[in-house]
Amino acid sequence: MNATEIRFSGSGGQGLITAARILASALVDQGRNVAQSQSYEPVSRGGLSRADLIVSDGEAAYPLVSRLDFLLILDQAAAHASDDLLGEGALVLVDSALVRDPPQGAFRCLALPFTETAQGLGNKRAANLVALGALVGLAEICPFDALERATAARMPARLERLNTEALAAGRAMADAQVVPAGG
């Protein structure tokens, strides 16, 4: 079965579960099936936190990840927590300011300024959506307008402009990374 495994990792309070739920919601609207799980510490801020998403067209027999296709790391706390799940062909996106020591191996790893960009938009807490925009741009698992609709549906209306800008900034980062076909 053709399943894609995605992990959002970092520290508690970075909106990792929120980002995963938004993507899950966009994907189900596209007719895909998702299984979304998480692990976090019993604190409201800080501590190792992660949200996982398995995207498939049938029912996922096992709803927890075993080999990641896409890994997002937003904090040094999570830098190496997922090393065992990374294999050849994976794409790893790390926050260039907050992750000092990204994973290394036979996979592509990009350091991108998610938090810095969110700060520039006026709220560093939107880093999760900048990263989500970049992830969707690079992973091509979901149409961008579906992602925007799912974000608007799940997030407070007062944050709609910030969130739209954050997603777009992330997408621009992805566009800058994607090598055009034949290029």
Partner 1 sequence: MTSRRLNLQGNQACALGAIAAGCRFFAGYPITPSSEIAETMSGELPRVGGTFVQMEDEIASMAAVIGASMGGVKAMTATSGPGFSLKQENLGYACGAEIPCVVVNVMRGGPSTGMPTRPAQGDIMQARWGTHGDHTVIVLAPASVAETYSETIRAFDLSERLRVPVVLLLDEVIGHLVETVELGTTATAATRKFATGPREEFQPYAVTEDLVPPMPRPGDGYRAHTTGLTHAPDGFPTQKPDEVRAAIGRLSDKLVLHRELIESWHSQAADDAEVMIVAIGITARAAQKAVDDLRAQGVRAGLFRPVTLWPFPEQALRDVVAKSGARAVIVPEMNQGQLVLEVERLLGRDLKVTGLNRFDGEPLSPADIAARVREELAP
For partner 1, the binding residues in 35-74 under the rule CB under 8 A are: 35-42, 60-64, 66
Phi, psi (degrees; rounded to nearest 5) at 40: -155, 165
Nearer to partner 1, 31 or 182 (CB): 31
Choose the stretch contacting partner 1; rule: CB under 8 A; options: 33-41, 130-138, 141-149, 161-169: 33-41
Of 4, 13, 28, 139, the one binding partner 1 (CB under 8 A) is: 28
User: What number of CA atoms fall less than 13 Å from residue 81's CA on the CB side?
Assistant: 23
Of 9, 11, 15, 21, the one binding partner 1 (CB under 8 A) is: 21
Q: CA dihedral defined by 79, 82, 138, 117, rounded to 10 degrees? A: -30
Phi, psi (degrees; rounded to nearest 5) at 167: -60, -45
For partner 1, the binding residues in 115-174 under the rule CB under 8 A are: none
The gap from C-alpha 12 to its chain's centroid, in whole angstroms, comes to 15
Nearest C-alpha neighbor of 118 from the set 83, 163, 62: 163
User: How far, in Å, CA of 178 to CA of 173, rounded?
Assistant: 9
For residue 13, the minimal CB distance to partner 1 (Å) is 14
- Does the footprint of partner 1 cover residue 25 (CB under 8 A)? yes
What number of chain residues touch partner 1 (CB under 8 A)? 21
**By the criterion CB under 8 A, which residues form the site for partner 1?**
21, 24-25, 28, 32-42, 60-64, 66
